[in-house]
Structure 1
Amino acid sequence: MILTGSEDLRVRRTIDSIKSVFEQMICEMDYGKIRVTELCNRAMINKKTFYVYYPTLDDLLAEIQTEYSAEYIERIKDYKLPDELDKVNREFFLFSEEKGLAYEKITCAGNESYHYIRSGMIKKVTTAGWSSSKKYGSLPEYQQTMLMNFVNNAVLGIYRQWIEEGKQQSVEEITRITNRLVLGGVREFFR
């Protein structure tokens, strides 16, 4: 349940507790091993309370990913694409670094549930970022799809590798490398 600020304090505490425990569990175990019973025990609520707010764990995961997307979209909303893709990429790495381990697991894990829900998050961010671009909008649909696949797969692939290798490079260095690789292709594409 996405909080609006007008909820009763008990409701806010309950939702915050559910999300906090869920993110802890994501860090500790595979998504498929997370059980509502254990989540409720850790959050000190009963299962009935959980189900009042979330029909399934997938709904809780989708809500958390929606919140991540909304926060990120807010950060990049004023950038003009493709001209400021370097800044968008930098924001992605800074944002990802701020979000921590649960975000990393959701973004990098190969788990089908993460993948299914993550693809919706990627689509939402892509649409928000690129929909106002005249250059992008003038492309045929198949080229728009190719461009998005290239940018998303390249940036997420580099991010995953960076995470898997223990973040050996600074955010600035990994952003610089990402931009050198990705921007060359995007700039050439729009020539």
Structure 2
Amino acid sequence: MTKKTDLRILRTIQSIRKAFYELIPEKGYEAITVQDIADRAMINRNTFYLHYQNKPDLLDTCMNELLSELKEAVVLCPISMSPFSLSLLETVMQTVLEQISLNMTFYRSMLIEENRIYPFQAKMENIIKDKLMEGWKPAQENSVLAISKELLIEYLGSAFMGIVIWWVKNDKPLPADEVSSQFSRIVAYGHLRTAGIAVEEEN
């Protein structure tokens, strides 16, 4: 009997979240009401309140759980032991895209167009930046980068998120491993050279 009860609770929670994810792109987060969610999930308002205090509680719970799963997956990527590892960047990108594929509806709701949830995007980008900074060691003890390390991480994090949003918005136009490989090549060789465009050097 306990197992049946647990399954019913799980299905109700899944229905609430599915309804919530579907409504965000349709109405925008601010316009959604608890009644909207209850109607879409085919439950009553009292059932909603058995599981969540209010709409912000539902949003926070969804974001925290998905970001926690993403972080756990990213943490498992090998640590870079060089000033910067392109293989790490490629591995992290592929890991993130594969994790997104498991919850595409949620990520589309959080990241795309005017209905995106900016705190989620910022927290996701911070997970990526933290991983890229992890294990960073200069090639030599007193070596100095030609540019600011913080600026480089900011650039890579922003570019990384731009690729992720493009991939989600366009419904995975390329396989995750191909996107990851191309992104690492762009970082390594620059966008013009990677695209096969000759670069004229100034005298």
Structure-1-length-normalised TM-score? 0.71
Q: Residues 89 and 132 of structure 2 are in contact (CA less than 8 Å); yes or no, is this contact kept in structure 1?
A: no
Match of 1:64 in 2: 62
- 2:102 counterpart residue number: 98
* Aligned-residue offset at 1:125: 5.0
Partner of 2:193 in structure 1? none
Alpha-carbon shift at residue 39 of structure 1 (Å): 0.6
After TM superposition, give the deviation of residue 115 of structure 1 in Å: 0.4
Separation of aligned partners in 1, 2:28 and 2:45 = 21
Moved over 6 A (4+): none
User: Is 1:147 paired with 2:152?
Assistant: yes
8 Å contact from structure 2 (residues 107, 168) kept in 1: no
Instruction: Give the unaligned 5+ runs of structure 1.
Output: 1-7, 186-191
CA RMSD after TM alignment: 3.2
1:115 counterpart = 2:118: yes
How many Å apart are 1:153 and its aligned residue?
Answer: 0.9
Instruction: Please state whether the residue corresponding to 1:26 is helix, strand or coil.
Output: helix
Kept in 1, the 8 Å contact 2:25–2:109? The answer is yes
Deviation at 1:110, TM superposition (A): 4.0
Summarize deviations over 1:17-58 as a string: whole Å, max 9, x none: 211221232354432332210111222333244234333323
Residues 154 and 182 of structure 1 are in contact (CA less than 8 Å); yes or no, is this contact kept in structure 2?
no
User: Partner of 1:40 in structure 2?
Assistant: 38
Q: Match of 2:111, as an amino acid?
A: T
Question: Hey, what does 1:135 align to over in structure 2?
Answer: 137
Could you list the runs of 5+ residues in structure 2 that have no partner in the other structure?
A: 191-203
Percent of counterpart pairs with the same letter? 25
Aligned partner of 2:49 among 48, 51, 55: 51
Contact 1:36-1:47 at 8 Å conserved across structures: yes
What letter matches 1:12 in structure 2? L
Q: What is the identity, as a one-letter code, of the residue corresponding to 1:158?
A: I
Once residues 34 and 12 of structure 1 are traced to their aligned partners in structure 2, the CA distance between those partners, rounded to angstroms, is: 22
Q: Which whole-Å CA distance do the structure 2 matches of 1:119 and 1:91 have between them?
A: 18
Q: TM-score, with normalisation over the residues of structure 2? A: 0.67
Q: Distance in 2 between matches of 1:183 and 1:105?
A: 32
CA distance, structure 2, for counterparts of residue 48 and residue 148 of structure 1: 46
Contact 1:66–1:121 (CA under 8 A) maintained in structure 2: no
Distance 1:118 1:20 in 2: 20
Contact in 2 for aligned 1:69/1:125 (Cα 8 Å):
no
**TM alignment of 1:159-178, pairs within 5 A:** 159-178=164-183
